[in-house]
Amino acid sequence: MKTIWTCVAAGLAAAALGACSTNTLQVADVGSFHVGGRAVTLSGLPQKELTFTPGAPPLKVDPNGDFEVESLYARYTLLANPKAKVPMLLWHGGGLSGVTFETKPDGAPGWENYFLHAGWSVYVSDAVERGRASWARYPEIFTSEPFFRPKKEGWELFRIGDTGSYATDPSQRKAFPGTQFPIAAFDQFAKQAIPRWATNDAATQAAYDAYVQKVCPCVIVVHSQGGNFAFNSALKYPDKVKALVAVETSGSPNPDTVDYARIKGVPMLWVWGDNIDKFPFWGRITAQQEKFRANLVKAGGIGDEIVLPQVGIHGNTHMMMMDRNSDQIAALIDQWLARQGLKR
């Protein structure tokens, strides 16, 4: 395929003149696709008459028939001359989508932008049931109703403030002292929230596995709920996952039942932010992850961790890719990946 060179930057006029500044990206291709999923046929549902556009005549709609459901959506930017040997896949957490890694809620560039400029071709995905991966009918396909995260839960669960510190009035919210999250942009962040289902893990895993088979070899950088899917994909395809970075992952396979011999050749890094000790929920999560990590190391694998307060970086939340110092954390991840021999 012929390589197309494009200058991607705010100064597109310079690109039109054939010049690329040092801050521009030389891009070979940009695109997207859906992968995974299955075909479903529905029958026996009642027809309805709907008006789709104001002023238009009503139309009889038949909800029965054939559908494609439970696929994953991915968008990619491939560099013309990447410094990394494999692409990077950014996997989001629960109740969120790939927007997690795009422009930050305060308008600053996010991790997708950072890693592209660091020399990685980058894929950003929306998992099954999220964003452009789309939904499916309930209860015929998705067997439970969706649930929605209130802003209070996001504020506290993501450790922007302590338990009881959220208020409907933004001026009354009390963030942790020294928090790196741009609290003035919290309500903007809340616009990213997406309903999620508690019964779609098998379909989500199947779509992620199909994604890995299609795109990899690769590096996976995964956040929160996505961690369990990434670990499972690595266990199934250890030859395709060249490294896994677990950013505050909230789940993984049972540490007592994992075949660590299968993944001891997959370098893994865990990254943790601040104020974890203030929440029993996060204490339980980190204890399970530490057991997984220790078992991996005992089996002869690479299982490193960066606890940001222990290296002098303070105030980071669960959403560290949106925190004001997100570039500093991304740089630590990039440096660790380079030490694994994944950059030229």
Band (22; pLDDT cuts 50, 70, 90): low
67-99 pLDDT tens trace = 999 999 999 999 999 999 999 999 999 999 999
More confident residue, 332 or 58: 332
The residues of the chain that CATH labels 3.40.50.1820 are: 72-144+191-339
- 147-189 residue pLDDT tens: 999 999 999 999 999 999 999 999 999 999 999 999 999 999 9
Amino acid at 240: K
pLDDT at 86 (0 to 100):
98
Summarised one tens digit per residue, pLDDT across range 248-306 is 999 999 999 999 999 999 999 999 999 999 999 999 999 999 999 999 999 999 999 99
CATH architecture of 72-144+191-339: 3-Layer(aba) Sandwich (3.40)
Task: Kindly report the pTM of this predicted structure.
Answer: 0.93
Q: How much is the pLDDT for 23? A: 77
Alpha helices (H) in the chain, listed in sequence order? 12-16, 111-117, 151-157, 186-190, 201-215, 226-236, 260-263, 280-298, 326-339
